[in-house]
Amino acid sequence: MKRYHFSLGDSNDGPVGFCAAVFADTKKQAVEKLRAILPDEQAVEPLDSDEDGEVEYINTYFNPDAVTEADVDKEYEVCPTCHEDRLRTFDTDPPGYECGNCKHTWVGG
Q: Which of 43, 104, 105, 109 binds Zn ion (CB under 5 A)?
A: 104
Name which of 24, 19, 25, 23 is nearest 6 in CA terms.
19
The sign of the dihedral angle between the CA atoms of 27, 8, 23, 58 is: negative
> According to the binding rule CB under 5 A, does residue 101 interact with Zn ion?
yes
Name which of 31, 6, 94 is nearest 108 in CA terms.
94
Minimum gap (Å) between residue 48 Cβ and Zn ion:
40
CA distance 81 to 101: 10
> According to the binding rule CB under 5 A, does residue 1 interact with Zn ion?
no
Q: Which of 7, 17, 102, 105 binds Zn ion (CB under 5 A)?
A: 102
> According to the binding rule CB under 5 A, does residue 28 interact with Zn ion?
no
Minimum gap (Å) between residue 59 Cβ and Zn ion:
40
> According to the binding rule CB under 5 A, does residue 42 interact with Zn ion?
no
Under 8 Å between Cβ of 3 and 25:
no
Minimum gap (Å) between residue 90 Cβ and Zn ion:
21
28/104 with CB nearer Zn ion: 104
The sign of the dihedral angle between the CA atoms of 38, 42, 48, 49 is: positive
Tell me which residues in 47-86 interact with Zn ion (CB under 5 A).
79, 81-82, 84
